[in-house]
Amino acid sequence: MAIIEPIIGRSIKRKMGGMRGKKMPFIAGHKLLYTCNLRCDMCPFWRRKDERLLSIDEEIMMMDSLASAGVSFMGFEGGEPLLRNDLEDILRESHRRFHTSLVTNGWLLKNRASSIAKYLDYLFVSIDGLKETHDKQRGVPGSFEHALEGIEEAKKYVQVAISTTITTYNMNEITKVVELAKDLGVGINVQVSYDYSTANNLSPEKKALYDVLLSLKKMKEDGYPIVNSKEYFDTLISSWYYGIKWACKPWSTVNIDPQGRIVMPCYVLNEYAGSSKVWETDIVRLWNTYDWSQYESCNKCSLSCYLEPSIFSWKKLSMVNERIIGSIANYISSML
């Protein structure tokens, strides 16, 4: 229960701040490095050279600054986070402050699962299709088998979900990946590939994608272990096909690059280019002087870290039950 108390406390603080018109981020995403052992076609980040990475002391300064600004949820990604030998130390510090998650391609997971799981509340493992399709999209033969082995080991210790990016390569296999998640006894989160300027353009043609989104929504309603909310699919379909915009709240999430710099205004629009160091910035002041209004009608991406918190409402009982009550119940049951 120790992790729930600070999350609830910061959530109340954030809610009261919101009532006074103050914007506060409650989700943080941090790329620990750009370096990766895979070569995914749709990803621009492994193509970048890492500068000097943050030390553990700098990681702690970053986390303390984020916690002071009201952040409750911390997600680590890369590149490939498991390439960092000090990952356990970083996750330990995060778990003391935040609800902590990690995204990995799974190649190195089998041998590190038990050591990192004790500091994680949720683990995402990337799988983008069945064996042949996944290995093609990820650029390295054997990546599918390594990911499966990692999932089988990790689910012994922590709640696991598959993370899937829908592309032109795999869109016809996405429902099979959902079936795979069900067979493995894990969840699955899906999002649509975004065409970065320095990666291969694999975003699916919207007309062909329509039926895929409808199928995923139906599978969600039928009880398949899809992490995305039903409203997530409703919102994407309404926006991309019927012109009914959703109001994005990019200020709900703060992203931090491998050098500890804040990414503004969001993950995708400036393609993860950071500016000022987190611990040298008054985040609350920045968040409440920045002009967020120009991005509210963007609707270009399908990233859950932006769409889900933007459409969440305490008035939507299904979302409250799944995101709040269900999450707390799952956490408590995992401790028993």
The CATH superfamily assigned to 30-335 is: Aldolase class I (3.20.20.70)
pLDDT recorded at residue 22 = 86
Q: What is the DSSP string of 221-280?
A: HTT--B-S-HHHHHHHHHHHHH-------GGGEEEE-TTSEEE-S-TTTTTS-EEEEGGG
Q: Percent of the chain, pLDDT > 90?
A: 84
pLDDT recorded at residue 20 = 59
pLDDT recorded at residue 16 = 47
Residue 312 has pLDDT above 90, yes or no: no
Residue 333 has pLDDT above 90, yes or no: no
Predicted model pTM: 0.89
List pLDDT tens digits, range 320-332. Answer: 556 544 444 344 3
pLDDT band of 318, cuts 50, 70, 90: low
List pLDDT tens digits, range 29-45. Answer: 999 999 999 999 999 99
Average pLDDT over residues 265-290: 93
pLDDT recorded at residue 330 = 46
Domain boundaries, the chain: 30-335
pLDDT band of 83, cuts 50, 70, 90: very high
pLDDT band of 319, cuts 50, 70, 90: low
User: Is there a contact between 103 and 81 (Cβ–Cβ < 8 Å)?
Assistant: yes
pLDDT recorded at residue 306 = 93
Alpha carbons 189 and 92: distance in angstroms, whole number = 25
In the sheet that holds 261-263, the strands lie side by side as: 187-192, 160-166, 122-126, 99-104, 73-77, 27-31, 253-256, 261-263, 274-277
Residue 4 has pLDDT above 70, yes or no: no
Residue 24, both tokens? 């506060």
pLDDT recorded at residue 131 = 98
Average pLDDT over residues 297-313: 91
Percentages (nearest 5) of helix, strand, coil residues in the chain: 45, 15, 40
Average pLDDT, the chain: 90
pLDDT band of 5, cuts 50, 70, 90: very low
pLDDT recorded at residue 98 = 97
Packed helices 230-242 and 206-221: angle between N→C axes, nearest 10 degrees: 160
pLDDT band of 265, cuts 50, 70, 90: very high
Residue 100 has pLDDT above 70, yes or no: yes
Unique residue bearing structure tokens 């983008």: 128
